[in-house]
Homo-oligomer: A and B are copies of this chain.
Amino acid sequence: MPIPTPLTGVVPPVCTPLTPDREVDVPSLIRLVDHLVDGGVDGLFVLGSSSEAAFLTDAQRRLVVETVVAHVAGRLPVLAGVIDMTTPRVLDHVAYVTAAGADAIVATAPFYARTHPAEIARHFRLVAARSSVPVFAYDIPVSVHTKLDPELVLSLAAEGVLSGLKDSSGDLAAFRAVVTGARAQPDIAGFTTLTGSELVVDSALALGADGAVPGLANVDPHGYVRLDRLCRGGDWERARAEQERLCGLFGMVGVGDPARMGGGSSALGAFKAALHLRGVIACPATAEPQVPLSEAEVERVGKYLAGAGLL
């Protein structure tokens, strides 16, 4: 399906359930998609950072996108990440995710290789030239170690290279520059602006963003959909209360002992533990080399769920 222009609402970055031996757990993935669709979400983003795309082999990535696109069957737009270091490698991912039927692709700036604004622009232009579906830029400095400049994003939008932005930079002021800049340019009226900052979705929507890509929406899609609808309805007070409830729930990302694991292991481990505790996925395993949560840490995830009325 052609994605809406702009795409609005809640577009969760779909977690990738794994079996105990770290293969993609297809039945669990399908149940997770159903859980999200039932939650009322407006699109799905597979193979993003919260999907552990960086930890999945190409074969696993392909299986994920094929599974989700086939199961969704056009009910919702499916965006697919094509996360890799540079253009030639990204284009390999573009080939199979578009063959699988993804409705849009989501690409970061080059990483590992040292880069430069001119090279970032060249990268997106080449990717767009070879993609049969719209290209979203994925701004995630914590992973790629450069920040996309708002003016570059807007100029690539005006060129027809970029159709949207998924902003996980945490820099709301820069994101606002894109949101208001896009609105001010009638020729890019359909440009989509999505925030990946799950703790300030209300703020992002209030300043004009089209939607959100919250990792935590895997755990509580209904909450984020409710938040989105309250914002759209201009009920900012109740929106804030819902957002604050979700901020509290988000505390689960800190359950992992920092002496024993990184923040990513803790956060993704918590999301998967929560999905497991809620009965959505069969196994909470995260991909290697992430460190698994201990039993006690999983118990604390359970308390967050209970506190939020999700268990």
Binding site for B on A (CB under 8 A): 22, 49, 54-58, 60, 83, 85-89, 91-92, 110-116, 118-120, 122-123, 126, 142-145, 170-173, 176-177, 180, 197, 199-200, 202-203, 206-208, 234, 236, 240, 243-244, 247, 260-265, 287-291
Q: How far is the CA of A205 from the CA of B2 in the complex (A)?
A: 38
Q: How far is the CA of A34 from the CA of B264 in the complex (A)?
A: 45
Residues in B with CB closer than 8 Å to A86 are 54-55, 287-289
* Chain B residue at smallest Cβ distance from A244: B180
Contact assessment for A123 and B88 in the assembled complex, using a CB-CB cutoff below 8 Å: no
Residues in B with CB closer than 8 Å to A261 are 116, 118-119
Partner of A288, one of B87, B118, B240, B243: B87
* Chain B residue at smallest Cβ distance from A91: B57
Residues in B with CB closer than 8 Å to A89 are 54-58
Contact assessment for A290 and B88 in the assembled complex, using a CB-CB cutoff below 8 Å: no
* Chain B residue at smallest Cβ distance from A197: B173
Contact assessment for A115 and B264 in the assembled complex, using a CB-CB cutoff below 8 Å: yes
With contact pairs A88-B55, A207-B203 given, residues A265 and B116 touching in the complex (Cβ less than 8 Å):
yes
Residues in B with CB closer than 8 Å to A173 are 170, 197, 199-200
Q: What is the minimal beta-carbon distance from A162 to any residue of chain B, in angstroms?
A: 15
